[in-house]
Structure 1
Amino acid sequence: MAEPIPPVTLPPAKDPLQEGEWLRAALQQWLDTEFLPEPANQQISRRAAQIFVRQRMEGENDLGSLAIAIVTEMQEFDFSKSFYSEFAVANAVSDLLLDSLGIDRCCGQ
């Protein structure tokens, strides 16, 4: 039987606003590179970073919980002018955070 994937816990936030600005810039770059640079990408990255910062300020360090919060709260965002969805955004945020921690995300490792 396959072993469950252990949770990924981020270090406690030292400067959530700085983390949020890093995430906003990194996510916007990812969005612009993945398909096309479009104005909606700025709004998407800004909103995702706001959610992330608020969650971190509330003490959330679990990556899975952060991703679920982004999916849940981004459901209110109008993605009609974008190639993306709340799930793509949450997955991208997770990947960016894993990369920043030096965690290999290939193949469930």
Structure 2
Amino acid sequence: MAEPLEAITLPPSQNPLQEGEWLQDVLLKWLDAEFLPEQVNQQIAQRAAQIFVRQRMEGENDLGSLVLAIVTEMQAFDFSKSFYGEFAIANAVSDLLLESLGIDRCCGQ
């Protein structure tokens, strides 16, 4: 039987607003590079970063919990003018955070 993956915990936030600015910037670059650059991508990146910052300010460090919060709260976002949805955004945030920590997102190493 396969062993479950351990939870990934981010280091405690020293500056959530700076983290949010970084996330908004890299997420926007990812959104624009993945498909076509769209005006709505800026709004998507901004909203995802707001959710992330609020969660970090509340002391959330568990990556899984952060991803669930983004999925849940992005459900209220109007994705009708976008190729993306809340799951794609949450997964992208997770991948970008893992990459920034030097963790291989493929195998959890």
Measured against aligned partners, the alpha-carbon deviations of 1:17-65 in whole angstroms (never above 9, x if no partner) come to: 0000000000000000000100010000000000000000000000000
Report how many aligned residue pairs link the two structures.
Answer: 109
Is 1:88 aligned to residue 88 of structure 2?
yes
Moved segments of 4+, more than 2 Å: none
Q: CA deviation at 1:108?
A: 4.4
State the superposition RMSD in angstroms: 0.7
Measured against aligned partners, the alpha-carbon deviations of 1:65-98 in whole angstroms (never above 9, x if no partner) come to: 0000000000000000000000000000000000
CA distance in 1 between partners of 2:39 and 2:61 (Å): 30
TM-score normalized by the length of structure 2 = 0.98
CA distance in 1 between partners of 2:11 and 2:108 (Å): 21
SS of 1:8's partner is coil
Gap runs ≥5 in structure 2: none
Gap runs ≥5 in structure 1: none
Q: Which residue of 1 aligns with 2:19?
A: 19
TM-score normalized by the length of structure 1 = 0.98
CA distance in 2 between partners of 1:77 and 1:59 (Å): 24
